[in-house]
Structure 1
Amino acid sequence: MVKKAYPPGQKGKRRVKALSEYGKELREKQKLKNWYNLKERQFRKYVKEALGKRGKVEDAGTL
């Protein structure tokens, strides 16, 4: 008998799809929002304010 690496009833291992660039950015945004416990509008306000003060910022997550 050969022991399989997955539980019975499953169709085998599933590959995890690579995240798109949008998916990566969205995940980082969600991470920041949860870290600082902000709602979408508050987060957007802070990012807009920071971008206005600093001019062009490559990474708004390093505020």
Structure 2
Amino acid sequence: MEFIRPVADLFGISPVMLIVLTIGGLLLIGFWYLLKFALKIAWKTFSIGCMTILVVLGALYVVSVILSAAAR
């Protein structure tokens, strides 16, 4: 812990607090990248779901137009 003391003194905190803040910062960075990855997957899933719904609705519209034209 003696090699950390000059850095901790530079910031005006104890070496233990410096270690805790460093670990906390690394955990926050890891959580941020995990969240970015999860949001990327969610966005792709959402996009695919929206496109599927639009294609199905478009197909139903085309079928209804064809059926209404055939009924005349």
TM value normalised by structure 1: 0.36
TM value normalised by structure 2: 0.32
Q: Which has the larger radius of gyration?
A: 2
Question: As a proportion of its length, which structure holds more helix?
Answer: 2
